[in-house]
């Protein structure tokens, strides 16, 4: 809400972050501080590197064959590309929600929420019910699915599936939630719900959301980063970026001159 007034601590500090797919450099040295307990939106035209930047924050980028990242990304002051860092443990701290809702097809609603615990070997049957209810409540889905927890996750509507995926991420108790165009496969009503949810979740989480929808960025985020061809052009308070952008390229993009 008006968290943007005070100056929160940085969750992520990016220094000269570069990324490649094979020989193709897709990020040309990005510097940014992403504040804690706030929503940061990354906007820009297709192929500008916004998803790559997002994926460098939980080391998902490097999972693609031939992809690599250079430069420094620290989270809470720890270099997440340090030699002793296990990316698997990092990803338990940094949850991710994807463009297309992807609940596990062989699992029920309940099992989907518990999948993180099962996959990471931290499943505790005595806590399972509480985890399911808490995560689904946080994801604003509990009232809709509490009577069909055993139904397949994929039997829900698209918007419900996406909130199920958010609940699944929250169930492993991360501190950060990365969202990669989470509403692009959803209808307007489902989009509104997810946006409202993002608004509530920033009390407890640091949220970074990639979107191609500028209105969405304006609605949900405290700060907005504008990217173009692998460069971070402008990164400032959302209101300022949309009302009085300091770079002419930002202005051209948000006024619809290209992109």
Partner 1 sequence: MGSPLSSSLQAAEELPVSARGRAPATGLQLEGRPLRAERLIEFGLFGCAFATVLTTVGIVATLAMEALGFLREVPLSALLLDTAWTPLFVEKHFGIWPLVAGTLLTSAIALGFAVPLGLLAAIYLAEFAHWRTRRILKPALEVLAGIPSIVFGYFALVVLTPLLQEVVPGLAGFNALSPGIVIGLMVIPMIASLSEDAIRAVPGGLREAAFGLGASKLATIFRIVLPSASGGIAASAILALSRAVGETMVVAIAAGQQARLTLDPRVPIETMTAYIVQISMGDTPTGTIEYRTIFVVGAALFLMTLMMNVISHRLTRKRGAA
Contacting residues toward partner 1, per CB under 8 A: 58, 60, 63, 65, 88-93, 95-96, 98, 100, 102-106, 115-116, 118-121, 165, 168-169, 172
CB under 8 A, 24+ apart: contacts of 252-257: 253/43, 253/44, 253/45, 253/226, 253/228, 254/214, 254/226
Q: Which is nearer to partner 1, 9 or 78 (CB)?
A: 78
* Strands (DSSP E) found in 132-248: 176-180, 206-210, 223-228, 231-237
Q: Which is nearer to partner 1, 159 or 245 (CB)?
A: 159
Residue whose C-alpha is closest to residue 106's, from 161, 158, 154, 168: 154
Residue 96: CB minimum distance to partner 1, A: 4
Three-state DSSP state, 2: coil
Residue 126: CB minimum distance to partner 1, A: 21
Residue whose C-alpha is closest to residue 243's, from 208, 220, 218, 209: 218
CA distance readout (Å), 106 to 102, 110, 123, 151, 154? 11, 12, 18, 10, 9
Q: Which is nearer to partner 1, 11 or 55 (CB)?
A: 55
* Cα–Cα distance, 224 to 40 (Å, whole number): 6
Residue 112: CB minimum distance to partner 1, A: 9
* Cα–Cα distance, 252 to 169 (Å, whole number): 36
Residue 91: CB minimum distance to partner 1, A: 4
Q: Which is nearer to partner 1, 9 or 151 (CB)?
A: 151
Residue 100: CB minimum distance to partner 1, A: 6
Residue 101: CB minimum distance to partner 1, A: 9
Q: Which is nearer to partner 1, 138 or 224 (CB)?
A: 138
Residue 151: CB minimum distance to partner 1, A: 16
Q: Which is nearer to partner 1, 45 or 152 (CB)?
A: 152
| Helix and strand totals (H; E) in the chain | 10, 10
* Cα–Cα distance, 10 to 92 (Å, whole number): 19
Q: Which is nearer to partner 1, 48 or 90 (CB)?
A: 90
């Amino acid at each position: 809400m008006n968290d943007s007034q005070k100056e929160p601590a940085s969750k992520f500090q990016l220094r000269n972050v570069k990324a490649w797919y094979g020989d193709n450099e897709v990020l040309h040295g990005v510097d940014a501080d992403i504040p804690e307990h706030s929503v940061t939106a990354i906007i820009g035209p297709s192929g500008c590197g916004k998803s790559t930047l997002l994926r460098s924050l939980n080391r998902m980028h490097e999972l693609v064959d031939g992809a690599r990242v250079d430069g420094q990304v620290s989270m809470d002051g720890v270099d997440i590309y340090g030699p002793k860092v296990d990316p698997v443990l990092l990803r338990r701290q940094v949850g991710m929600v994807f463009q297309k809702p992807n609940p596990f097809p062989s699992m029920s609603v309940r099992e989907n929420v518990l999948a993180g615990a099962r996959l990471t070997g931290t499943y505790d049957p005595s806590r399972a019910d509480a985890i399911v209810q808490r995560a689904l409540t946080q994801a604003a889905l509990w009232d809709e699915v509490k009577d069909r927890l055993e139904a397949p996750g994929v039997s829900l509507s698209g918007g419900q599936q996406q909130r199920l995926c958010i609940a699944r991420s929250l169930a492993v108790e991360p501190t950060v939630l990365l969202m990669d165009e989470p509403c692009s496969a959803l209808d307007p009503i489902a989009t509104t719900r997810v946006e409202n949810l993002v608004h509530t979740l920033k009390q407890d989480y640091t949220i970074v959301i990639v979107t191609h929808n500028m209105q969405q960025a304006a609605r949900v985020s405290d700060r907005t980063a504008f990217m173009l061809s692998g460069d971070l052009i402008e990164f400032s308070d959302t209101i300022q970026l949309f009302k009085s952008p300091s770079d002419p390229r930002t202005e051209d993009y948000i006024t619809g001159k290209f992109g």
